[in-house]
Structure formats: structure tokens, C-alpha cells
């Protein structure tokens, strides 16, 4: 294929724009914030699960506390009733008095056991509260970290959007100046190998970095300037300039 050497050189500008577009696409997929957000989501799930477990434990303990308190109230009420009866002097039977005394002793013992139980449950409830507070603080921290990562990701994406819009406009402008056939060739090579055109610099292909041998260089040296020459290794259009080392 033949093409005006100026058009061939312009392919280098197109290749620079395309390399930028490729970099932007790669960056879009590999933003560190994406992994950060994914990790934060995992941590959020784990943190929420353990918070739910602590909340369940706390509400179970609250229920136990209410039950024990109700039992203590009952025992106390019963004791007060018994003491009322004793104090009233209305009971004259010695057997009845003895039974009442006995019941009061039993009730005192029972109350003491219940109060010990209540104390123990309340201590566990307090420990659970500490755990809950820690869990809530941990969750808030993870949510904040995720929020920050999302903000950074969105800023990076907005930058990439702007870069891509500019580069695509530049791409269209360059393509508009070039012969259709040359662009078609460039696009074909780019689709296959990633780089459509490169500078031949000091005898080396700018796309695959291969150093051309003397025979290949000789062929290129003898080719007319408007002939489109290509790298034998990667197929890229090799653009010749004063830097080519020919």
C-alpha cells in the first residue's frame, strides 16, 4: 500500500491517542477503589452479621432480666403478705405460725438466689452492650471507608470519562484527515495486535521493540517514502523519520 509520508507520520499521533484510550480502559477496570469497595462490602456483611448476633443476645438477656425481676417481685409480694399475716396477730395456731415462719425463710433464700442470678445476667448484659457499641462503631467506620472509596472511584471515573471523550474527539479528527484505506489497514492491525503503527527508531520497531536485522532495514531503506512498510514481527506500520536509523 502507498500513502503520503505525512499521512504515515500522522498515524503516530493516532497511535498515541489509541494507547491513551487503551490505558484509560485498563485503568477503568483496575481502579484500586474497586477492590477496596468489594472488600468493604465483605466487611460490612460480616460486621452486620455479628451486630445482629449481639443484638439477639442482648434482647435474650433483656428478656431473662425481665423474667427474673418479675419472679423477685412475686417472691417479695409473697413475703410481704406472710409478714403482714404474722404482724396482724390474727393467727393463733402454733402449727400455722410455724408454717409461715418456714415459708418466709424459704422465700428469703429463694430471693437471694434469684438476685444472684439477676446480677450475673445483668453483668453479661453489660458485656454485650460493650460488644454492641464496639460493633456499631466498627460498622460506622467500614461504612465511612466504603463511602470514601466510592467518592474516589467516582472522581477517577469522571476523570477517565473526560479523558476518553477528548481522546475520541482527537481520534475522529485525525481519522478524518487520513486516507480511508490507510485507516482501515491501521484498524485491522490494531484489532489483531493492539498497536497499529509505530515509529521505526534506531532500527527498532516501536510497537514490539524488536530490532530489525540488516536485510529488513535494507529493504525499508530502499522502499520509496510513500510505500507503507510493516514490522515483520508484529505487523505494525513502521513509520520512518529522521530518527529511524536508516
Q: List residues binding Zn ion (CB under 5 A).
A: 205, 207-208, 231, 233-234, 236
Least Å from the CB of residue 246 to Zn ion: 16
Contacts of 159 (CB under 8 A, 6+ apart): none
What is the closest distance, in whole angstroms, from the C-beta atom of residue 194 to Zn ion in the complex?
A: 11
CB closer to Zn ion, 80 vs 213: 213
Shortest separation between residue 206's beta carbon and Zn ion, angstroms: 8
Neighbours of 15 (CB within 10 A): 23
CA distance 81 to 65: 24
The CB-of-235 to Zn ion minimum distance in angstroms stands at 7
Comparison of 68 and 207: residue with beta carbon closer to Zn ion? 207
- Give least dist CB 236 to Zn ion, A: 5
Length of the chain in terms of residues written: 246
Beta-carbon-side half-sphere exposure of residue 128 (alpha carbons within 13 Å):
19
Give the residue with the Cβ less far from Zn ion, 17 or 200: 200
Q: Which is nearer to Zn ion, 115 or 187 (CB)?
A: 187
Q: Which is nearer to Zn ion, 39 or 227 (CB)?
A: 227
Residue nearer to Zn ion on the CB measure, 174 or 200: 200
Nearest Cα to Cα of residue 195 among 234, 158, 152, 139: 234
With respect to Zn ion, which residue has the nearer C-beta, 47 or 195?
195
- Least CB distance from residue 178 to Zn ion, whole Å? 21
- Among candidates 199, 181, 196, which has minimal Cα distance to 238? 199
User: Torsions phi, psi of 238, nearest 5?
Assistant: -95, 115
Q: Least Å distance between CB 203 and Zn ion?
A: 12
Amino acid at each position: 500500500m502507498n500513502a503520503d509520508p505525512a499521512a504515515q507520520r500522522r498515524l503516530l499521533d493516532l497511535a498515541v491517542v489509541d494507547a491513551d484510550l487503551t490505558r484509560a480502559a485498563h485503568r477503568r477496570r483496575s481502579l484500586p477503589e474497586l477492590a477496596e469497595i468489594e472488600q468493604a462490602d465483605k466487611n460490612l456483611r460480616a460486621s452486620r452479621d455479628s451486630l445482629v448476633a449481639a443484638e439477639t443476645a442482648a434482647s435474650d438477656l433483656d428478656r431473662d432480666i425481665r423474667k427474673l425481676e418479675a419472679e423477685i417481685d412475686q417472691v417479695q409480694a409473697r413475703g410481704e403478705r406472710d409478714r403482714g399475716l404474722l404482724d396482724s396477730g390474727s393467727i393463733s395456731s402454733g402449727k400455722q405460725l410455724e408454717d409461715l415462719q418456714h415459708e418466709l425463710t424459704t422465700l428469703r433464700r429463694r430471693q437471694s438466689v434469684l438476685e444472684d442470678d439477676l446480677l450475673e445476667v445483668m453483668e453479661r448484659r453489660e458485656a454485650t452492650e460493650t460488644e454492641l457499641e464496639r460493633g456499631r462503631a466498627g460498622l460506622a467506620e467500614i461504612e465511612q471507608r466504603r463511602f470514601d472509596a466510592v467518592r474516589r472511584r467516582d472522581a477517577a471515573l469522571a476523570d477517565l470519562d473526560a479523558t476518553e471523550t477528548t481522546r475520541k474527539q482527537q481520534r475522529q479528527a485525525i481519522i478524518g484527515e487520513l486516507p480511508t484505506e490507510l485507516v482501515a489497514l491501521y484498524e485491522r492491525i490494531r484489532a489483531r495486535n493492539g498497536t497499529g503503527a509505530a515509529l521505526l527508531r534506531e532500527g527498532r520497531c516501536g510497537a514490539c521493540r524488536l530490532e530489525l536485522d540488516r536485510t529488513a532495514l535494507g529493504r525499508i531503506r530502499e522502499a520509496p517514502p510513500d510505500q507503507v512498510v510493516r514490522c515483520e514481527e508484529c505487523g505494525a506500520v513502521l513509520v520512518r523519520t529522521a530518527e529511524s536509523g536508516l
